[in-house]
């Protein structure tokens, strides 16, 4: 039987994992390495990419600043989350706010240091990101359009830290980024619809609070339709290979989300749609291996040789 102290340590650990969104961090790391292997550095061997020390530093720096971002965001959102996500707040309360703040500063410092080990430009990138996510949590998220747009940009930026590191500025990556940006913005809008009650009580002027549920749904549907344009452009690239089937799935999913969103009225309905989009993004991460199937064989053969 585990002792009381060991049980407390387990709960504290789970509380920290919840605060830094452990699942999101894991997916981010996985996405960065898959993108590095199959998109950003296709000419490098699997071994060279995985053992690239500077890439590891970029990933560690990203993990540190993103985890710190989740901590400061939860710090400012504690009143909001007590209404919208009481169970989550209950778990995260096992760790003192002072401990979280100390961890926030420590993670940001480590993120900057690992960025500096790569280059001063990387350090500057992470320093700007650290300030931006604090400014978003402190000010921007309380306003409808600035909060929505900045939340989307801050969500997508960490993934493209590796994109900047490899200096791979191909058109297909930019088009893919536009698709990802639109889907993330739709997800943010649905999350705002889901959290309207807490936003109203705490005087947060999110888009649905400021302009109403109907306008938020109309904007979401407009963005859903807009996602089809980058998808159509991506279909013109032969390099997309078998990943095109992911985008067929994405189109069907987004149409379904649009129809269900228009009919949704309850928090639990918005939560389901939010989770559907999270799952769609997760499948998108795993589908990166199919962007050029010849690369899989080539990299495996290089590893065997």
User: Residue 90: what pLDDT?
Assistant: 64
Rg (Cα) of the chain, in Å, rounded? 20
Please provide the average confidence, as pLDDT, over all residues in the chain.
Answer: 84
pTM above 0.85, yes or no: yes
Rounded Cα gap, residues 98 and 102, in angstroms: 6
Percentage with pLDDT > 90 across the chain: 43
Specify the CATH class of 13-168 in words.
mainly alpha
Report the SS3 class of residue 49.
helix
Distances (CA, A) of 129 to 31, 69, 84, 87, 141: 19, 9, 27, 29, 15
Average pLDDT over residues 267-278: 92
Range picked from 1-5, 59-63, 165-169, 175-179 for highest mean pLDDT: 59-63
Output the pLDDT for position 138: 85
């Amino acid at each position: 039987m585990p002792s009381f102290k060991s049980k407390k340590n387990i709960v504290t650990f789970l509380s920290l994992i919840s605060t830094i969104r452990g699942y999101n961090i894991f997916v981010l790391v996985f996405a960065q390495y898959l993108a590095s292997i199959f998109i950003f550095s296709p000419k490098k061997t699997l071994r060279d990419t995985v053992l690239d020390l500077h890439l590891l530093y970029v990933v560690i720096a990203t993990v540190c600043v993103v985890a710190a971002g989740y901590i400061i965001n939860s710090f400012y959102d504690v009143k909001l989350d007590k209404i919208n996500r009481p169970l989550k707040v209950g778990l995260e309360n096992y760790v003192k706010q002072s401990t979280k703040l100390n961890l926030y500063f420590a993670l940001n410092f480590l993120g900057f240091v690992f960025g500096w080990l790569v280059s001063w430009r990387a350090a500057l990138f992470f320093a700007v990101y650290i300030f931006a996510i604090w400014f978003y949590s402190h000010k921007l998220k309380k306003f409808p359009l600035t909060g929505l747009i900045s939340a989307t940009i801050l969500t997508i930026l960490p993934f493209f830290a590796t994109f900047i590191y490899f200096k791979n500025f191909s058109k297909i990556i930019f088009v893919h980024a536009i698709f990802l940006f639109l889907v993330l913005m739709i997800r943010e809008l649905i999350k705002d619809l889901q959290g309207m009650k807490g936003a109203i009580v705490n005087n947060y002027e999110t888009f649905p609070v400021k302009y109403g549920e109907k306008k938020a749904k109309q904007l979401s549907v407009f963005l859903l339709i807009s996602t089809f344009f980058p998808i159509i452009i991506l279909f013109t690239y032969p390099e997309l290979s078998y990943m095109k089937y992911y985008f067929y799935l994405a189109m069907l999913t987004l149409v379904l989300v649009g129809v269900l969103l228009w009919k949704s009225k309850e928090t639990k309905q918005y939560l389901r749609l939010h989770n559907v989009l999270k799952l769609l993004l997760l499948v998108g991460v795993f589908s990166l291996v199919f962007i050029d199937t010849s690369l899989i064989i080539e990299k495996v053969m290089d590893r065997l040789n």
